[in-house]
Amino acid sequence: MTAGTAGGGQTVVLKKNDRYWDKENVAVETINGRIVKENDTAINLYEGGELDLTGLEGNKVQQYVDSPEFFRRVEPFTVYGRLNQKAPGLDNINIRKALMIGFDRVGLTEQILQDGSVPAYGYVPSAISPGPGDQTFREANGDLVPKDVESARELWEKGVEEVGETPKLTMLFSDDSSQRDMATYMQDQYKKNLGADLDIEVVTFDAALDRVDQEDYQINYAFGWIGDYDDPMTFLDLYLSDSPFNNSFFENEEYDSLIKGAQTEPNTDKRMQMMLEAERILIEQAGTVPVYFAAVAGVKKPYFKGYTPHAFGGDDYRYASIEGKS
């Protein structure tokens, strides 16, 4: 794999491995990936024949939804806010709860994203299939985040009183077009529903990752988590107090006990109940801010055959081919 630039944008080049055991059945010699942050630019490249596959955002989804080239799928992917509990004000549970409750998720997914993403009122996404009995995990635990957005203002005001001052908070977002739209929406929602003036900082995705790793942030909405495997644990163990991914510094002894117990519990039903209870604690303590369960919408050229997306483990281009391209 090599990286470079093309036309002012970043590229990633994947090349066929001549030592692969089934190389005779791998038709594509090279895949050129373009990292394009503006969706309008990506669509223009697609329509101009420079891209064979691209994602769609916002109102562009409706523009292509009836096209035979359109595709959409919901991923095991939760976009959520990280609240740095070491930051002044965010150690207060009422401030955190206000931020968790105080925005309209339906408005975000239907008016801003418009790509089929689903409002998240829990942490573990609906695409994770295991759960108790014949239910998924999400079906069993239901909606945990309260939907009465109006109640958030009282929590915010109570938290401000407890802290002794209005905390000065900045939200971190990445610099692609959908994140910029989300940043404006979240800022407006918190002003409307909490009476709070939160600042926005837009950085590159890589910079956002570094900032979180360095604990140099207050609220991060720049990214989420996609499951590594089909089980709630792939999300829930991130919030163990000793997890290297727990950049929010959420700590709860009962949560730790339940998750560590579930990691070794042989009884499937008991294990699932332990994880269900742990998620309820995580939301009750506002340890995270679930925003939406992400969907992927896009378009693919009809001559691009054999491309296989997987819910877990990434997309498979092994047996992809270009057939009938003029």
- Domain 2-52+301-322 in CATH: superfamily? Periplasmic binding protein-like II (3.40.190.10)
Tell me the average pLDDT across 152-168: 97
Q: What is the pLDDT, as a whole number, of residue 228?
A: 93
Spell out the residues 6+ positions from residue 294 whose beta carbon is closer than 8 angstroms to its own: 74, 75, 77, 78, 79, 117, 224, 226
Helices and strands (H and E) in the chain: how many: 11, 13
| Sequence spans of domains, the chain | 2-52+301-322, 74-294
Q: What is the pLDDT, as a whole number, of residue 169?
A: 97
* Spatial distance between the Cα atoms of 49 and 301, rounded to a whole number of angstroms: 9
Token pair of 91 as six digits: 């150690």
**pLDDT tens digits along 227-253:** 999 999 999 999 999 999 999 999 999
Q: Lowest-confidence range among 25-39, 41-55, 170-184? A: 25-39
Top-level class of domain 74-294? alpha beta
The conformational region for residue 90 under phi > 0 = left, psi -120 to 50 = alpha, else beta, is: alpha
Tell me the average pLDDT across 11-17: 86
Q: Tell me which range, 17-26, 49-58, 180-189, is most confidently predicted by mean pLDDT.
A: 180-189
Give the mean pLDDT of the chain: 92
* Spatial distance between the Cα atoms of 122 and 258, rounded to a whole number of angstroms: 18
**pLDDT tens digits along 82-108:** 999 999 999 999 999 999 999 999 999
